[in-house]
Structure 1
Amino acid sequence: MRTGVFTFPTDYGIDPGELGRALEERGFDSLFVCEHTHIPVSRRSPFPGGGELPRRYKHTHDPFVALSFAAAATTRLILGTGVCLVPQRDPIITAKSVASLDRLSGGRFEFGIGGGWNVEEMEHHGARYPTRFKLMRERVLAMKALWTQEEAGFQGQYVHIEPSWLYPKPLTRPHPPVLLGGETDHTLRRVVEFCDGWFPRAGAGFDPAVAVSRLRAAAEGAGRDPGSLTITVFRAPPDAAALARYREAGIHRVLLEVPDLDRDGILRRLDEMAPLARG
């Protein structure tokens, strides 16, 4: 089992390049970054975690720019979005960003995706909450076509792309792994239909053995090889005994949280978590 981290790459935190180097030096597998394009002031959507919306949600760098700085400063670190809000992104531009980052990083990118929860944020991008997952599916399928075909087009209910050339193609073949966040049975059906891995959150009551069994059952029910799918657990507990259960269950990767502290605070936190990366 591999151990990485996730963080909100904020403008008041650590430089992404320095963070990437620090993670690589301490033996971490990967860096996944969160995304919010902006936060509408209306704040109609309640924060899923309860209470006031944390400061970090309003201060995130663009994930592809932040990961590019981390890529340039490292040689082995896996770089991922955790998660990219696909319903809020143009699929052609996003396909080019993914392919460019994967190629320039030497094939080190993984594409974590999600539907999003902030209704007013996605509405500013022309997406609607009730249909966000249908839109996400079509955009992912369209991007896969652009990554893998010489002349690619896509015609769906929400996405219309006439046959086009899009380069560069990703270095990772056929394309970087697509990991879908969420915990519901609907999520698992989407994972086995058009993704390469599952990206659940380790909330209260999360059982890694049950998670592995759920994904296996969903894959077998859809006629897909369970061995072709991975599980990366978001916000895993930073505890060696708990992580041992994840390893025994067959989880492929866990992501520990790097909080939105200042530079020195983040580096101290990485030193505290480093034994878990080597465990």
Structure 2
Amino acid sequence: MRLGISELFTGAGPRDGSWSNDAARLIEEIGFASVWLPEHVVFFPEYKSQYPYESGGAQEVHRMLGVIDPLVLASSIAASTTTLRIGTYVFVVPQRNPIITARQVASIDQLSGGRFEFGVGVGWAVEEYDALDVPFGRRGARMDEYLAAMRALWSPEELTSFSGEFVDFPPLYCFPKPVQSRLPIIVGGNSDASLRRIVEVGDGWAGYSRTTEDIEIFVERLATAMEAAGRRMSELSLKVGRRSKGKTEKDWEDDLAYIESVEKLGIDEVVVSPRIGDEHYERDMRRYAEIVGL
């Protein structure tokens, strides 16, 4: 079982944005496999959109003023570490131009020596889409096409063209190319559309705030769909996000029981979320490492 950490690096507070690199080096030193960077381009004082996960996450999002851009931060962390895998959990693909995103992602993979994983999702806040002047409707179809265009741009071919409903460009050069022969696309979400997307284009799943029962059902459905498509489950990396609770001894016992339970279900990595800025942050990270034997 691998253990990763998801963090909201805000670039604010008593320490400036350089703390993100300090934290990444510590995460690597302790023995975590990866660091995952959440994405919201902008935040709002009020939301009409319904947060799709648990209430603690909604409260956190509603308190946020901003986070460091995950792709910019990923390149900085890549320069500060040597073995830590770096990913987005998750990047809202339909909100950004796919040619620019493809170049940025490939650049990070080059600079990190092939350590980047592209966790992707469609997002949930209509307010963000409105602010960016991107239609919220059919965002799933837009994301599917954007991912297809990016895969084409990452191919070894020097000249790439693409023609679709949302993306259309003539033969062009788009460099650099990723180091990894197939840069991992990790599909976020728990919906039927997410499951379909994993089977069609994905290299893994990024679940979040799911009970073990929910995870078991999703993994079984995914295995059935993968077999029907002629793919093997061994082709996928399955990850689930685990929101950190208070840190009583009972909390640690619950965390360990959860990690052991999802490992039996075929999950490869649990991504935990202790928060930067907490005075006990390093202690909690080391405790997580201790309970899973890093």
* TM-score (norm. length: structure 1): 0.91
Structure 1 pair 25–95 and aligned structure 2 pair: CA distance change class (3 A): same
AA aligned opposite 1:254: V
Match of 1:156 in 2: 164
Match of 1:16 in 2: 20
Identity %: 37
AA aligned opposite 1:155: S
Question: Highest relative contact order (Cα 8 Å, sep 6+), 1 or 2?
Answer: 1
- Asked if 1:258 is matched to 2:262, the reply is no
Structure 1 pair 202–154 and aligned structure 2 pair: CA distance change class (3 A): same
Structure 1 CA distance for aligned equivalents of residues 153 and 226 of structure 2: 25
| Structure 1 position 42, deviation (Å) | 5.9
Count of equivalent residues: 277
- Deviation string 1:176-212 (CA, Å, 9 cap, x unpaired) is 2001111122211111111111111132454444333
| Structure 1 position 235, deviation (Å) | 2.1
- Asked if 1:172 is matched to 2:180, the reply is yes
- Asked if 1:35 is matched to 2:39, the reply is yes
Match of 1:248 in 2: 264
1:1-279 equivalences in 2 (<5 Å): 1-12=1-12, 15-41=19-45, 43-48=47-52, 49-50=54-55, 52=59, 54=61, 57-148=64-155, 149-174=157-182, 176-204=183-211, 206-235=213-242, 239-259=255-275, 261-262=276-277, 264-278=279-293
Q: Is the 8 A contact 1:88 1:122 kept in 2?
A: yes
* TM-score (norm. length: structure 2): 0.87
| Structure 1 position 58, deviation (Å) | 2.3
AA aligned opposite 1:87: P
RMSD of aligned alpha carbons: 2.1
| Structure 1 position 213, deviation (Å) | 1.7
Moved more, 234-243 or 213-222: 234-243
Q: Is the 8 A contact 2:212 2:262 kept in 1?
A: no
Q: Is the 8 A contact 1:86 1:139 kept in 2?
A: yes
Structure 2, unaligned stretches of length 5 or more? Answer: 245-251
- Deviation string 1:63-95 (CA, Å, 9 cap, x unpaired) is 011112211111100000000010111111111
Structure 1, unaligned stretches of length 5 or more? Answer: none
Structure 1 pair 162–57 and aligned structure 2 pair: CA distance change class (3 A): farther
AA aligned opposite 1:172: Q
